[in-house]
Structure 1
Amino acid sequence: MIRMFLKERVSWILFFIFLQLLVLAMGYLDTSVPFTSTVYIAFISCLSFVLFIVARYGKETRFYKHIHSVEPSFDLTTIPEANSPFETITHEKISEQIQVYKNQLDKLQTDLEQEKDDILNWIHEVKTPLTTLQLMIERTKDPALRSQLMYEWLRIHLLLDQQLHQKRIPFIQNDLYIEKVDVQKLLFQEIKSLKQWCMQKRIGFDVSLETIDVLTDAKWLGFISRQLLTNAVKYSEDSDVRIRCTSQNGITTLSIEDFGQGIAPRDVSRIFDKGFTGTANHPNHAATGMGLYLAKQVAESLLITMEVESTVGKGTRLSLVFAKENEMIRMTRM
């Protein structure tokens, strides 16, 4: 800040130095004025000027030091009071600009809330005819047609469910309820919902759960499991999906492993990126690249670590590593 202060006033300093040199030159050229007295006057002037600069530095930089040190914020109380006309102008303009941005932000947030509510209402409205459609499909007598219709119905249902949870994720902290969750019951419900799809692709499930209960949020864990199971079924055929749940040193791990096409090594680090659908031939044009991204967002809110292991042509294992119970209890108290 000292360098900036001196740089700002370099023209005044140079002008003062010029005046002192002029006084010394006049004392040297004018024999009627003792040169020693001229040097003494110049010395006293320079000393006074230095003391003046030091005193003004503290007063004139206080306002700008405060502005430089505060964190970016729309809080008007963080702006210090002005001590000079120029500082007053700066203070007023900054305050006005912040107020404009704050008003714009409030409007955008209100519009976003309204858009979220509208989409959520629309999704709930669509679910009613979707449920009716499911009942109509179940009454279809042709097994092949019924299976195909149920598969397409399930795709619509999963996309709507994904969209519903996507809109809720920004506000997930308001929707968490941490409790003991029966993993077996939750998984079997999710597997049952995929029954028609699994039958069509001839996929079974090999489930072995050493640990049954985990401390987490049932609804959001169900959403994560749904995304992982959907991916496992989507990229597999004529094989089983292996599900394991183990616990070691107080840490529970739930893994879902398929034996499908696997993930290319160059893609493994990107599968949780928003909109990423893979680079290996893009066989599934219907993929949105949102499932694992959303699952990752939810997992982070639940203190769950997601790990992936994959080999091309052999399959993929996605694991959920749950936080220790004391960490979850600590989160509920925040």
Structure 2
Amino acid sequence: MSLSAYLRDNLAAIVTGALCCLGVAGMMAALGTGPDATVLVPCFVAACGAVALGIGYVRRRRFYAELARIVEDLDRTYFASELVDAPDFLEGRLAHEALEAVGKAAADDVSFHRQQAESYRDYIELWIHEIKTPIAAAHLMAADLHGETASKLKAELDRIESYVEQALFYARSTSLARDYAIREIGLADAVRTACKKNARYLIERGVVPSVEVGEDVTVFADASWLAFILGQIVVNAAKYGAAVVRFSAREEDAGTSAARTVLEVADDGQGIPASDVPRVFDRGFTGRNGRAQGSATGMGLYLVAMLCQKMGLGVGLASEEGAGTRVMLAFPHDRRRKDAL
């Protein structure tokens, strides 16, 4: 709160005080008290009024400045009343009480919706676990079938299972609970696991994976989450015309606190238009290629980015339309660093 704003807010009181001083001066002159008293008494009244205004400004300025600072620093502004002391002037106390009421209502509303979201997430996870039983049964029945129709049926079952798994990881990515474990794992094993899990789809699309990752290369990650991430990248490459998906690893910034292992997944597919590249990790964004496919959900790369963020990994993408796409995953060597990319 600036002084000019405070004076404008109290303009009526200032004008009234000035008129009172003029009135007192007129009365003193009419009573014949002499010129010194006629000037001194109104000036004393005006000085008292100015002091009162100054004290009021200082009290209010302290409260509103502290409130503005806390609101600017807080992510959840409805907690502001808990961090600001109630002031000792009336309008400030009224404002503080209003803040408390609004904050309590907002906190109750947030708590209610959080409980609803958690209940819905719990239901989704339960449903996913339940739906896995009929999917597994369908896989067993389809195993005895042969021929082209049977192959198509198995491929569709794989797609259903992939979408169910995607829903499960999406539900987990929005949870505050930490249901993953960061351990040292072999990067080549994680790549092979992802390719094996999506082998039927890769074969159907005629995609050949090329693993150029040393057996001695290890990274810190959750094995199942990393397999899912790589699976989403591989499926995307196959979906958009890749014939070869090449996995390679390199170490960057060795010997420094920013040391990391970078896994590059490169394909020779149709690539991504330059205008779409900045948004590929946005939730629900399908882009020109996705709209042309018709079956894209825009959730695959969004989940990749979300899960990488949860595990403290870096992720980046580079693409040239007609030449292919490269996805880079950065695994920090120092697990205390969350900003390795």
Q: TM-score under structure 2 normalisation? A: 0.88
Q: Tell me if structure 2 keeps the 8 A contact 1:277–1:288.
A: yes
What is residue 6 of structure 2 aligned with on the other side? 5
What is residue 195 of structure 1 aligned with on the other side? 199
2 CA distance for matches of 1:292 and 1:61? 49
Q: Tell me if structure 1 keeps the 8 A contact 2:80–2:99.
A: no
Q: Tell me if structure 2 keeps the 8 A contact 1:66–1:79.
A: yes
Q: Tell me if structure 2 keeps the 8 A contact 1:275–1:289.
A: yes
What is residue 270 of structure 2 aligned with on the other side? 261
Which AA in structure 2 matches 1:20? C
What is residue 205 of structure 1 aligned with on the other side? 209
1 CA distance for matches of 2:111 and 2:315? 35
Q: Tell me if structure 1 keeps the 8 A contact 2:247–2:265.
A: yes
What is residue 22 of structure 2 aligned with on the other side? 21
1 CA distance for matches of 2:98 and 2:260? 54
Question: How far is 1:132 from its partner?
Answer: 0.9
Which AA in structure 2 matches 1:50? A
1 CA distance for matches of 2:336 and 2:99? 43
Using the TM superposition, name which of 65-74 and 110-119 deviates more. 65-74
Which AA in structure 2 matches 1:39? V
**CA RMSD, 1 decimal:** 2.2
2 CA distance for matches of 1:89 and 1:63? 13
Label 1:271 to 1:54 Cα distance change in 2 as closer, same or farther (>3 A): same
Pick the aligned partner of 1:74 from 75, 79, 90: 79
**Superposed CA offset, 1:160-206 (max 9, x none):** 11110111112366123221111111211211121211222221111
1 CA distance for matches of 2:251 and 2:99? 56
2 CA distance for matches of 1:172 and 1:228? 25
1 CA distance for matches of 2:283 and 2:135? 28
Q: Tell me if structure 2 keeps the 8 A contact 1:147–1:196.
A: no
What is residue 131 of structure 1 aligned with on the other side? 136
What is residue 46 of structure 1 aligned with on the other side? 46
Gaps of 5+ in 2: 72-76
Question: How far is 1:264 from its partner?
Answer: 1.0
1 CA distance for matches of 2:60 and 2:154? 74
Label 1:25 to 1:298 Cα distance change in 2 as closer, same or farther (>3 A): same
Using the TM superposition, name which of 149-158 and 65-74 deviates more. 65-74
Q: Does 1:145 align with 2:149?
A: yes
Question: How far is 1:134 from its partner?
Answer: 1.1
What is residue 295 of structure 2 aligned with on the other side? 286
What is residue 74 of structure 2 aligned with on the other side? none
2 CA distance for matches of 1:314 and 1:155? 27
**Superposed CA offset, 1:298-333 (max 9, x none):** 11222322222222222111111222x22x1466xx
Pick the aligned partner of 1:251 from 247, 255, 260: 260
Which AA in structure 2 matches 1:149? L
What is residue 275 of structure 1 aligned with on the other side? 284
Label 1:147 to 1:321 Cα distance change in 2 as closer, same or farther (>3 A): same
Question: How far is 1:234 from its partner?
Answer: 1.1
**Superposed CA offset, 1:256-286 (max 9, x none):** 1111111111111111111111124832111
2 CA distance for matches of 1:172 and 1:150? 35
Residue 312 of structure 2 aligns to a residue whose secondary structure is coil
Pick the aligned partner of 1:315 from 301, 313, 324: 324
Question: How far is 1:156 from its partner?
Answer: 0.9
What is residue 58 of structure 2 aligned with on the other side? 58
What is residue 231 of structure 1 aligned with on the other side? 236
Q: Tell me if structure 2 keeps the 8 A contact 1:24–1:35.
A: no
Question: How far is 1:291 from its partner?
Answer: 0.5
2 CA distance for matches of 1:266 and 1:255? 22
Gaps of 5+ in 1: none
**Superposed CA offset, 1:110-139 (max 9, x none):** 111100000100010001110111111121
Q: Does 1:161 align with 2:165?
A: yes
Q: How many residues in Structure 1 have an aligned counterpart in Structure 2?
A: 326
